[in-house]
Structure 1
Amino acid sequence: MDYFDIFCLQFFVVFIIYLIKRPQIGKNEPPLVPYRYPIIGHTYRYLYDAENLINECKEKYGDPFSLYIFGSVRTFAGADSSHEVFQNSPDIFDHHTAINVLFPVHEVYRQYLIHEDAPAFSAHSINESINGRIYLYTSRIQKDLLFGIEKYFGDCKGSKRIKNIHDVLSLIIAKPIVNVFLGEEAAQFDDIVESFSGLEKDVFKLKAIPPILLFIHPSLHKKAVTLPLKLGWKPINKHRDLFIRRFKLIVEERVRQRIVLGKKYILKDDLLDFVLSEPDFKTEVVDDKFLDKLFGIIYANAFAAVHSTTRFLAMTLFEYGGRPEFWKEIYEEQLMIHNEINNNLEADNVNKMIKLECFIKESFRNSSDFASLPHALLKDSYTFKNGATIPKGRIVNICTKDVTLSSNFYGETSKNFQPSRHITTYSGGTTIHAPLSKVDKGHIAFGGGRRACPGRFLATHILKIFMHNLVLRYNIRTKSGKVDPKKIIATFVFQPTSELIFENRNY
């Protein structure tokens, strides 16, 4: 077989795939944006020019519209229709189903999760054990964050330049999350803190496999990604082994105390003890199978908590470092609160950090992805209010930045950085603000609807306490003195690759 024959064979295979995979659009579906290249569709531009692609399509074809990406049609919902997706989640649209199609992270934890609806169980656990009792954790979070700040930033008597702020922040943030999830004693285990911090990198190793097989069928991509797991490569097993080594005796003692004390047992202030009190986790025998289940629920939440909080915090620091016009008012607010607390920070003090919280919220808004939060349609079909209908299985991506920068929600100044937009002052002098943890149509950093991120209250608490301490102790700036360009990967926005400079305020 010569080169011409090989070329003809390849062309024939590609042509057959094109015929098989050629998108079929049903009646009344959102408009499928025309594309130039068969099979590839909009994939290349989606990966390398997502911002302009999404903006152009929304302007020309309305909301929602559809693109042909990685061998399938995906619908994109912007400011006009995204709230419908959130309102109907998880009964009609489900985020976790879509994630598992695009990147089967659930497969990593499958052997450890006992609940068919693990997200609902996680939300219930976090709401009951953390969100309603956040005041119990404030001083512990403050102590752990101060420890991390001292360890990784120190005095900064001259100046300290930090290039990869994400990795530093991940280690700092992991410690209070370990404290809240596993208890104060656990936060003293450096290896557990490093495990919580390093979990993100180990899970995302699966993303090293390019999604080429999605062009043929999602199931083939899923099989390719999960093949290493089936062959014995399990990146989180070392975390599981460490968890059992550190916590088997602790769990055994807590189970024993429950049996001995019965109703007199006093619930400890951490997520671990709450999970142990749930019916599905009541046991008299703490074996490896039971510890696997316990590991699954704790570490699945740890992955989400550390990853999201670290990413948002890094974004906020770069926004703060490049916007000196806001330094004075934020510093004065934190200094006033510091003078009130007498070294005993409480939840009420954190609630007074209004200007700081509004700055963080505006940083989130300004740093939104171009498209994210995919949801899969579970029902046979769904018709948007504008009459567009999509079929079962269709993945709907949210045009995140179109929502967060929409003039529908933020007026003519929607593209300007204005933290004060989240504060309302009434004629009588009363001031209220829109909290960072409250989701609405224009604020979807934590998702929306009933399945909005349950950890957003803890994340908000940690972010404010961390920034409070940093602002009081350091001058933080970018090398350029301005907000540096953010790193863009496909539709996702990350903190700039440049460095941040920390200088001690007292020197």
Structure 2
Amino acid sequence: MDLSFETIPAFVWVFITIYVIYWINNPRVNKNEPPMVPYKFPIIGHTLDYFFNAENFLAECRQKYGDPFNIYVLGQVNTIAGNEIAQEVYNTDVFNLPSAMQDIFPLHLVLKSHNPETIGQVIKTVREGITANLPLYTGRMQKQIMISINKEIGNCSNPKLIITTNENFAGIIARPLADILVGQEISKKEDVVKAFADFTKDFLSIVAIPPILSFIHPKVHIQFIALLLIFGWSPIGKHVTTLKKHLRPVLEKRLEDKKILDDKYEPPLDIIEYLMDSPEYETKVITDDYLNKICEFLFIIVVVSIHTTSSHITCALYEFAGRPELWDDIYEEQVRIDKECNGELSSQLINKMVKLDSFVRESLRNTIPVAASPHRCLETYTLKNGMTIPKGRVVQTYIMDIHYNTTTYGPEPRTFLPYHGLENNLSASKTDKNYFIFGSGRHACPGRFFAVNEIKVGLHKLILNYHIKTPSGKTEKKVQIGPFAFPPVSGLIFENRKK
């Protein structure tokens, strides 16, 4: 190839640009920090290993450098905290999850009211409005789940292979949540249920944009997404519009009823009523701004619940379908409870599903990413082992190191232990230092009790009504994309049980 005089400046500028990016991103690790894992390629660092070989890469790093250690991914240093350190991170207010999540899950760009204050209100709402009322929601939950099962799976007098299992279960999970969030009237609207089911999936199309610009700085990638949204690309705007259309007349009627009936007004049991009674959302007129605020708040709850819960119940079904040695034992428990309640579950009877609960816990233990749940260090912090985490550092939770530790789960921790929870008096919703699916400590997921109940009720109804198996007759491998795990895609075979 001939180089003309004119091409030389172009090569010079390319070299200067690469050098500047490298200089900006060159990781500066202090002596007292966790050890930095060496890497071969400037700028790229460990990015390729992390996204294409996460499980083996982090296991090798853990064995060689201990817990914690530092890696260099997408232009920034990340500290990886495993079984020994993660608990300290979760129990210290210096480490903040929402701050770190904004860089990879920029919900604040599409839901403008998403901020630390709103997140605090969401947590309070879930605890007081949902968890505290679980017994009152149980009957409605199972009714809505059965409507969805009949719609999504239906009659299987002949064996039926359902390929899009995870998408189907997003709809099954969305319906009871819609009932609780926006009430029994609005949750009958199929377009609202679909909006709830599809919201997170469509938002993930934003998250799926390759973060190439993060090699310069994570904020550059976020600004790029912001520009796309400013110029009209919004895959989730239609869902907000759908909810607003149905929500306005219901809220207006409730305000009018309160005014007319006064003390005789009987408040419906749902989250929109809870919000209207709270000081932050109290109003005398339903304006567009108020409606936007309520809708965005509800979709924050949707985005942190439906996708994860539907993935968990899908993975649990695959585990059940691929383990015929468990079928009779778990089925017999469901039959016994069904006879006891005559088809109408109560919270007390859901709590009696001890074998199913233990099975769900074990499925959740194995439905894990290699690493996830980033926390940003808000102030320089010295760990109990003497290592220092600098201000601004993102600490990733090495979940596989926690869930597969040999001290708790034996010499072969990847073995599926269906009754480990039952034998050790550990429920599926109970967090501890060896089980981080719902976080840990003071910052554990407040919606985990509802999520586990929803999963158990869904499995209970499905196992009672269908024989469920995998096409291969064995357990199917989960789909691994980078450090993240997703349900298998081979499909499940459903066949009506003989009554």
Scaled by the length of structure 2, what TM-score is found?
0.96
Of the structure 1 ranges 101-110 and 171-180, higher mean CA displacement relative to structure 2 is found in: 101-110
C-alpha deviation, 1:16, in angstroms: 2.6
User: What's the counterpart of residue 105 of structure 2?
Assistant: 103
**Cα pair distance change 1:27/1:248, threshold 3 Å:** same
Q: How does 1:160-171 map to 2 (within 5 A)?
A: 160-171=160-171
1:417 counterpart SS class: coil
C-alpha deviation, 1:27, in angstroms: 2.0
1:45 counterpart SS class: helix
C-alpha deviation, 1:250, in angstroms: 0.6
8 A Cα contact 2:70 2:78, kept in partner:
yes
What is the aligned length? 495
- Correspondence for 2:42 among 35, 38, 59: 38
C-alpha deviation, 1:260, in angstroms: 4.0
Q: CA RMSD in A?
A: 1.6
1:503 counterpart SS class: strand
C-alpha deviation, 1:18, in angstroms: 1.2
8 A Cα contact 1:103 1:222, kept in partner:
no
C-alpha deviation, 1:120, in angstroms: 1.3
- Looking at structure 2, the residues matched to 393 and 260 of structure 1 have their Cα atoms a distance apart, in angstroms, of 54
Is residue 55 of structure 2 the alignment partner of residue 76 of structure 1? no
1:246 counterpart SS class: helix
1:239 counterpart SS class: helix
8 A Cα contact 2:37 2:71, kept in partner:
yes
User: What's the counterpart of residue 459 of structure 1?
Assistant: 451
User: What's the counterpart of residue 144 of structure 1?
Assistant: 144
Q: How does 1:495-506 map to 2 (within 5 A)?
A: 495-506=487-498
C-alpha deviation, 1:159, in angstroms: 0.5
C-alpha deviation, 1:343, in angstroms: 2.3
**Cα pair distance change 1:20/1:299, threshold 3 Å:** closer
Residues 33-57 of structure 1, C-alpha deviations (whole Å, 9 max, x = no match): 0001111000011110000011000
Question: Which letter maps to 1:108?
Answer: V
Residues 182-235 of structure 1, C-alpha deviations (whole Å, 9 max, x = no match): 111122100100000110122112124211111111221110111112223333
Q: How does 1:324-473 map to 2 (within 5 A)?
A: 324-379=324-379, 381-424=380-423, 433-473=425-465
Is residue 188 of structure 2 the alignment partner of residue 184 of structure 1? no
Residues 378-430 of structure 1, C-alpha deviations (whole Å, 9 max, x = no match): 11x11111111111110000001110111233333532211211123xxxxxx
Of the structure 1 ranges 260-269 and 445-454, higher mean CA displacement relative to structure 2 is found in: 260-269
8 A Cα contact 2:378 2:392, kept in partner:
yes
- Looking at structure 1, the residues matched to 183 and 139 of structure 2 have their Cα atoms a distance apart, in angstroms, of 13
- Correspondence for 1:50 among 54, 67, 70: 54
C-alpha deviation, 1:5, in angstroms: 5.3
User: What's the counterpart of residue 172 of structure 1?
Assistant: 172
- Looking at structure 2, the residues matched to 116 and 70 of structure 1 have their Cα atoms a distance apart, in angstroms, of 25
C-alpha deviation, 1:337, in angstroms: 0.4
- Looking at structure 2, the residues matched to 3 and 92 of structure 1 have their Cα atoms a distance apart, in angstroms, of 51
C-alpha deviation, 1:155, in angstroms: 2.0
Of the structure 1 ranges 133-142 and 5-14, higher mean CA displacement relative to structure 2 is found in: 5-14
Q: How does 1:287-302 map to 2 (within 5 A)?
A: 287-302=287-302
- Looking at structure 2, the residues matched to 406 and 265 of structure 1 have their Cα atoms a distance apart, in angstroms, of 55
C-alpha deviation, 1:263, in angstroms: 5.2
Residues 127-153 of structure 1, C-alpha deviations (whole Å, 9 max, x = no match): 111101101111111111111111221
Residues 228-253 of structure 1, C-alpha deviations (whole Å, 9 max, x = no match): 12223333322222122111111012
Question: Which letter maps to 1:422?
Answer: G
8 A Cα contact 1:373 1:398, kept in partner:
yes
- Looking at structure 1, the residues matched to 125 and 257 of structure 2 have their Cα atoms a distance apart, in angstroms, of 21
1:183 counterpart SS class: helix
- Looking at structure 1, the residues matched to 145 and 433 of structure 2 have their Cα atoms a distance apart, in angstroms, of 32
Question: Which letter maps to 1:59?
Answer: Q
User: What's the counterpart of residue 270 of structure 2?
Assistant: 270
C-alpha deviation, 1:307, in angstroms: 0.9
- Looking at structure 2, the residues matched to 408 and 254 of structure 1 have their Cα atoms a distance apart, in angstroms, of 55
Structure 2: 5+ residue stretches without partners: none
8 A Cα contact 1:93 1:376, kept in partner:
yes
- Looking at structure 2, the residues matched to 211 and 376 of structure 1 have their Cα atoms a distance apart, in angstroms, of 19
- Looking at structure 2, the residues matched to 16 and 299 of structure 1 have their Cα atoms a distance apart, in angstroms, of 41
Is residue 205 of structure 2 the alignment partner of residue 205 of structure 1? yes
8 A Cα contact 2:318 2:475, kept in partner:
yes
Question: Which letter maps to 2:63?
Answer: E
Question: Which letter maps to 1:258?
Answer: K
- Looking at structure 2, the residues matched to 400 and 204 of structure 1 have their Cα atoms a distance apart, in angstroms, of 22
8 A Cα contact 2:163 2:492, kept in partner:
yes
C-alpha deviation, 1:482, in angstroms: 1.3
Of the structure 1 ranges 447-456 and 396-405, higher mean CA displacement relative to structure 2 is found in: 447-456
Is residue 51 of structure 2 the alignment partner of residue 59 of structure 1? no
Residues 317-357 of structure 1, C-alpha deviations (whole Å, 9 max, x = no match): 11111111111110010010011111221111111111011
Question: Which letter maps to 2:96?
Answer: D
User: What's the counterpart of residue 217 of structure 2?
Assistant: 217
8 A Cα contact 2:98 2:116, kept in partner:
no
C-alpha deviation, 1:262, in angstroms: 4.5
Is residue 23 of structure 2 the alignment partner of residue 19 of structure 1? yes
1:281 counterpart SS class: coil
Query: % of aligned pairs identical?
Result: 38
8 A Cα contact 1:354 1:433, kept in partner:
no
- Looking at structure 1, the residues matched to 19 and 233 of structure 2 have their Cα atoms a distance apart, in angstroms, of 36
- Looking at structure 2, the residues matched to 347 and 178 of structure 1 have their Cα atoms a distance apart, in angstroms, of 20
1:266 counterpart SS class: coil
8 A Cα contact 2:200 2:302, kept in partner:
no
- Looking at structure 2, the residues matched to 263 and 234 of structure 1 have their Cα atoms a distance apart, in angstroms, of 43
8 A Cα contact 1:140 1:179, kept in partner:
yes
User: What's the counterpart of residue 429 of structure 1?
Assistant: none
Of the structure 1 ranges 232-241 and 2-11, higher mean CA displacement relative to structure 2 is found in: 2-11
